[in-house]
Structure 1
Amino acid sequence: MARGQRITPEQWQAIAQAIRDGGTCRGIATEHDVSPDSVRRIAKEENIPDAFARAHTEKATRARVADMAERRARIAEKYLSKAEQLLDQMDEPHLVYSFGGKENTYAEHLLDRAPTGDLRNLMTTSAVAVDKHMKLIAADTDTGAATAASMLSGIADALQIAAEQLDDEDPAAGEG
């Protein structure tokens, strides 16, 4: 919106709602093509207390994180479904075909099951899909306990080494 243009009542209401929903001042301004000052003025005139307080930003961030977790769960489910479909294909009739010969003719044949190379590809692709499924699930269920335990173990090892080095450097320290 060009400088000095009036905000329509519809824009005003949309901006006010975005403020109530916990959007950031700059984000709302960019989304609605107005200045941040206009957004702050609307918040003030609409009497939206603490419109851009940190709590609103934190709430919006938590909502965004929850939305992304839900999307990852949907993708993980798709990976698992695809893996299952690929495994099922291994036991189904399989159409093999080729183009070739002097006349570049098309030939096809329906086999009881896929040839060994195609079976391997189906199995590998299925395994990759399951692996990606597991990684997405792990990303949302990891409590960080393993990382913390690893870090604490590293600190303990470093302290042990430092203590041993101090003992080696000054054997007389314990004497009188």
Structure 2
Amino acid sequence: MHQERVGGEGVVAQGQRISDEQRAAILEDIRAKNGSTRAIGARHGVSDASVRKIAKDAGETDAFSREGTEKATRARQADLAAMRAEVSEKYLRKASELLDQMDQPHLVYSFGGKENTYNEAVLERAPTGDLRNLMTASAVALDKHLKILATETDSGAATAASMLSGIADALEKAAEVLDSEPSDEVSNDP
């Protein structure tokens, strides 16, 4: 049981009747929507249950409605869902970009030798190790996209996520095969 505070100026002891003046002041705060039941109660030295009772007795049934809070919560959830969709789209776009890089010319470079010289070469495609890293990074980005997608919907998306997860697994296996091929990396060591 919540007890009203005892002591201090304007504080009503438990079981003591709230004065008509104090009741009017509380009702004025309720009508002006000057805070929650707790805040109004604390300001007037009464319990939040007393504030709710005063509101009910005065017919102020919507005074502490949670409808506004519920709407704000739904709006926040919609905002967060939009942010997740945006991040998910970025992951998917990045996965595609990384896969595209596998088929593009690739700059390799090194610093080395006694003079610590810089050497570079452009290869037709990335070396095997870099291909594996691109493939793995792409698979991770795709997997993150799928995980976000799975949290957003339960309808049909689970099947699509499962299928795309299979594609991600296939990409990782392909990366392992590429890794086992002889390396075509350029060595710039003297």
Provide TM-score, normalisation by structure 1.
0.53
Does 1:66 pair with 2:78? Answer: yes
Does 1:77 pair with 2:78? Answer: no
Residues 56-135 of structure 1 mapped to structure 2, 5 A cutoff: 56-135=68-147
Amino acid at match of 1:116: T
Sequence identity percentage: 69
CA-to-partner distance for each residue in 1:63-101, whole Å, 9 max, x for gaps?
Answer: 111100000000000000000000000000000001111
Provide TM-score, normalisation by structure 2.
0.49
How many residues get paired?
105
Query: What is the deviation of 1:56?
Result: 0.9
Amino acid at match of 1:105: T
Supply the distance in 1 between the matched residues of 2:112 and 2:64 (Cα, whole angstroms).
68
Aligned with 1:102: secondary structure?
coil
Supply the distance in 2 between the matched residues of 1:51 and 1:87 (Cα, whole angstroms).
58
RMSD over aligned Cα atoms: 2.9
Amino acid at match of 2:132: R
CA-to-partner distance for each residue in 1:9-67, whole Å, 9 max, x for gaps?
Answer: xxxxxxxxxxxxxxxx58xxxxxxxxx66xxxxxxxxxxx9465211111111111110
Query: What is the deviation of 1:102?
Result: 1.2
Q: 2:67 corresponds to which residue? A: 55
Structure 2 gap segments, 5+ residues each:
1-34, 41-60, 159-190
Aligned with 1:106: secondary structure?
strand
Assess, with a 3 A threshold, how the Cα gap between structure 1 residues 58 and 95 changes in structure 2: closer, same or farther.
Answer: same
Amino acid at match of 1:137: L
Assess, with a 3 A threshold, how the Cα gap between structure 1 residues 123 and 51 changes in structure 2: closer, same or farther.
Answer: farther
Supply the distance in 2 between the matched residues of 1:60 and 1:94 (Cα, whole angstroms).
50
